[in-house]
Structure 1
């Protein structure tokens, strides 16, 4: 997705705001955590102080009730008892490893105060004034003990949290130092990021400016490359497209000038090429007439085998010259292939062994001219000629539902996978022997063009296990324009 320069600026602003918000949140969290801890400690002191206040209030309420045993004073005394019991429960939650023993004694003193107060009330109700007074005095002493114990516990708490208070002071100093270093680090990072951000804008502009200078000097072959994803990149692409259009226009003008020059030269050579064309038309007829004369002379002299071979050579040459640019029947292809084999048998005698299995119902199918003979020739060159004992060639024609299958197989050394792929990819491959000039790859190309199919031919081979060429020939063609080429007879 393309980013505009405006988006980049907004991104920079968002990053700065994010860093500032992160620092503010971190500092706020730290301060809140310290404040919560401080409040918790303060609550511990207040709860212990509430116990002292509640015990003193309870003594005062008990004294007022003993002096004036009215229902109102009794109610106040009950409220004082409930208040000190609540304070006791709250203080119990302050237990830790440092104050466990002292806090247990503290709880017992509170329980003793409540029990003593209750005993004083019982004696008062039984009219035992002296016993009630003694219980009141004991409750007063217990209340004093509670006050003293409260101070002791608070002192213990102060010693326990002394490290915390000192830690707060030290952390405050460290926080100031951290803030300074953090400010310097953020300033450095922002400076680096701002520099990088500015380069992402100015660098493409500088490249575009340099490209404009080169273009003004007439150098239209230098590509304009700008690594960016904003409006400058779009400008660079349009600028490069303009450079390409100008360069193409200059190339077209140069090509037209060159073509005009070549046209003038070709006009001078036209007459000479026409004369040579006439000679090329006369030479094949002279060659065919000469071969016919030699064939008849050999027949009259009794050399019938020589006569047949000359006839085969003449037929093969005539077929090669006339049938390459048009379609023929499979019958014609098989016929010229046999003529080629007859010629090669005169050379290799029993070393060349051809095995044929042909379904005659398939011989009417149309096929490009000179398809079979180059493939058989390739098998002769590689499977028969190099071997002292010669070799075997199998030729099969089999009928199918919508295609016929033609197989040409030999027992030669085979092909490598690289060579097979090179042939099927229609690359020129050297045969390593004499041929008619129609290469294997040319046969593959013409078959595919003729039928409009890619899977019309395949090769199965391997090192040391011979080669099998398989052609899947459609009974009806997909491209009918191939055989509309003129018959150049």
Structure 2
């Protein structure tokens, strides 16, 4: 990810690189021009040095002739070395245009050196007149060297006059080029700065626009920022915040809707409770009427009819109890037997009911109206559809820390989807059972009562029957804040 700091350093580096390139170009041109000037000036200095050296030789030779001492002789030798060195420097100045003039100039220097040497030789041989004659010749050559130096310099000036003019013209052109180059660089830097500013300001504008949208309550629009720096990271974080706020608003709306529905359900529940209180007189009146009919049937000798009415009355009385009460397995078995007495009177030989009960398990607590709805479901869905009827097996088995209750039938069975719907409490039951409590409701109440999911198991195969197994713990785990069930 490119940070804003990196972008700034990049812009600064580009500007510095451009400025450095311009500085190097100007420096190179100035150095080149200066070297050319230095070369020309060096030519003039070398030629002038020849003149000065020849005059110095004449002076030192005159001193030696007047006073032939070893010191003066050494001074002449040094002066001759300087003029020889100057002669070699002149060799480097030779070109096509001045080759003839400089060749003569160099030969003249050689003649001057030879003349001074002959004067010294005659002086050492004490031939004074010959030495003086050679001294005069050397003086004449020295003057000629000075005149020829001026002539060569004048020739050099004429030769390099065109070069001087070209340098001046190049300087003017270079100034114009520098101005245009400066303008182009300024335009380029302005464009580069504009582009660089857009890479920062455009994401900021997009983020500002998104913030305005959020301030207007539009949390459903995603925040998109085209950048690869800290602003992009800020936009992503901002977008996450928008999503969280949007989810929170949706959750608050859902909660408000749920509270509204709960309020409506509360009102409906209050109305239902009022109607339930108003209708309670009917089942109690029916219960008293059944008891009266049972006694009258017994007095008239119809004992089977009397027993049947007693079973119906007992079943009705048991069903009038509150569903949130816990009862013993013994109470559930008694009401189950009363229910099966009624069903046997209905189905006669088509219904076989088999009991296998461990007496030691009868005092274990279970929710009220648990077993009858399951057995009733077996009667309605397993026995009733078959012409020949069927059998139902009811077993209560001791499993050390728990009690296993099995309700098995040999009816038509259930599909796997229906079993799954019952266990997942998704089955919508519309049958008018005697208790008004469906199978899925029993599953839900058992799981709520015991606090775990594996309290019930259903094994069923279509056409082969169904087996319902309840795993009831002998000691129910009760939370600290939960009251123990009413066992009255």
Q: TM-score, structure 2 length as denominator? A: 0.51
Instruction: Tell me, yes or no, if structure 1 residue 236 matches structure 2 residue 235.
Output: no
Which residue in the other structure is 2:290 paired with?
A: 291
Partner residue, 1:407: 406
5 Å-filtered alignment, 1:140-151, equals none
Per the TM alignment, residue 415 of structure 1 is displaced from its structure 2 partner at its CA by 1.2
**TM-superposed deviation, 1:478:** 1.2
**CA deviation string 1:276-311 (max 9, x = no partner):** 565244333322222212222222232222222222
Partner residue of 1:457?
Answer: 456
What is the deviation of 1:416? 1.2
Relative to structure 1, the CA distance from residue 409 to residue 230 in structure 2 (aligned partners, 3 Å threshold; closer, same or farther) is: same
> Is the CA contact (8 Å cut-off) linking 1:327 and 1:483 kept in structure 2?
no
- Counterpart of 2:420? 421
Q: Work out which of the two has the higher radius of gyration on C-alpha atoms and give 1 or 2.
A: 2
Q: What is the DSSP-based 3-state SS (H/G/I as helix, E as strand, rest coil) of the residue aligned with 2:284? A: helix
Q: Which residue of 2 aligns with 1:347?
A: 346
Contact 1:405 1:471 in 2 (8 A): yes
The Cα offsets for residues 231-280 of structure 1, whole Å up to 9 and x where unpaired, read as 21112222444556667778889999x79x989x97xx999888656524
Would you say the 8 A contact 1:223–1:240 is kept in 2? no
**Is the partner of 2:405 in helix, strand or coil?**
strand
With over 3 angstroms needed to count, the CA separation of the structure-2 counterparts of 1:7 and 1:465, relative to structure 1, is farther
Relative to structure 1, the CA distance from residue 230 to residue 9 in structure 2 (aligned partners, 3 Å threshold; closer, same or farther) is: farther
Q: SS where residue 324 of structure 1 aligns?
A: coil
Q: TM-score, normalised by structure 1?
A: 0.51
Give yes or no for the alignment of 1:337 onto 2:340: no
The within-5 A match list for 1:16-415 is: 211-219=210-218, 222=220, 224=222, 230-242=233-245, 276=275, 278-415=277-414
Aligned position for 1:445: 444
User: C-alpha distance in 2, partners of 1:301/1:254?
Assistant: 62
* Structure 1 residue 471: Cα displacement: 0.8
Instruction: Quote how far apart the aligned CAs of 1:325 are.
Output: 1.2
Structure 2 contact 402–471 (Cα < 8 Å) conserved: yes
Shift in CA distance, 209/417, structure 1 to aligned 2, threshold 3 Å: farther
Alpha-carbon distance in structure 1 between the residues aligned to 2:199 and 2:350: 77
Residue 428 to residue 284, structure 1, CA distance change in 2 (3 Å): same
Question: Corresponding residue for 2:465?
Answer: 466
> Tell me, what secondary structure is at the counterpart of 2:441?
helix
- The 3 A distance-change label for structure 1 pair 273 and 357 is closer
Distance 1:247-1:293 versus aligned 2 partners, 3 A rule: same
Give the C-alpha shift of residue 348 in structure 1.
0.6
- Residues 323, 244 of structure 1: alpha-carbon distance in 2 compared, 3 angstrom cutoff: closer
Tell me how far apart the structure 2 counterparts of residues 482 and 313 of structure 1 sit (CA, whole Å): 35
1:7 Cα deviation after fit: 10
Does the CA contact (< 8 Å) of 2:402 and 2:473 recur in 1?
Answer: yes
In the aligned structure 1, how far is the partner of 2:386 from the partner of 2:472? 32
Query: What is the CA distance between 1:414 and its match in structure 2?
Result: 1.0
On the 8 A contact 2:413/2:463 being kept in 1, the answer is yes
Distance 1:272 1:452 in 2: 31
CA contact (8 A) 2:326 2:485 kept: no
Indicate if the aligned counterparts of 2:418 and 2:427 stay in contact, CA closer than 8 A. no
Q: Distance in 2 between matches of 1:294 and 1:199?
A: 98
Distance 2:423 2:485 in 1: 25
Give SS of 1:430's match. coil
Give the conservation status (yes or no) of the 8 Å contact 1:345–1:352. yes
Task: Name the CA shift for 1:217/1:293 in 2 (closer, same or farther; >3 Å).
Answer: same
Alignment partners' CA distance in 2, 1:416 and 1:203:
63
Cα displacement string for residues 77-104 of structure 1 (whole angstroms, at most 9, x for unaligned residues): xxxxxxxxxxxxxxxxxxxxxxxxxxxx
Count matched residues. Answer: 296
What's the CA shift for 1:442? 1.1
Partner SS, residue 399 of structure 1: strand
Post-superposition CA distance 1:169-197 (Å, at most 9, x none)? xxxxxxxxxxxxxxxxxxxxxxxxxxxxx
Distance 1:319 1:215 in 2: 61
Q: How big is each residue's C-alpha offset from its partner over 1:425-467, in whole Å with a ceiling of 9 and x where there is no partner?
A: 1223437564421111111111111112221110111122210
Note the residue ranges of structure 1 that are not aligned, 5 or more in a row. Answer: 14-197
**Structure 2: how far apart are the matches of 1:283 and 1:327?**
25
1:335 is displaced (CA, Å) by 0.6
Q: Distance in 2 between matches of 1:383 and 1:335?
A: 22
More divergent stretch after superposition (372-381 vs 276-285): 276-285
- Does the 8 A contact of 1:313 with 1:343 survive in 2? yes
Distance in 2 of aligned mates of 1:273 and 1:302 = 43
Distance 1:231 1:469, change over 3 A: same
Q: Once structures 1 and 2 are overlaid, which stretch shifts more, 307-316 or 463-472?
A: 307-316
**CA distance 1:433–1:236, shift in 2 (3 Å):** same
Distance 1:270 1:391, change over 3 A: closer
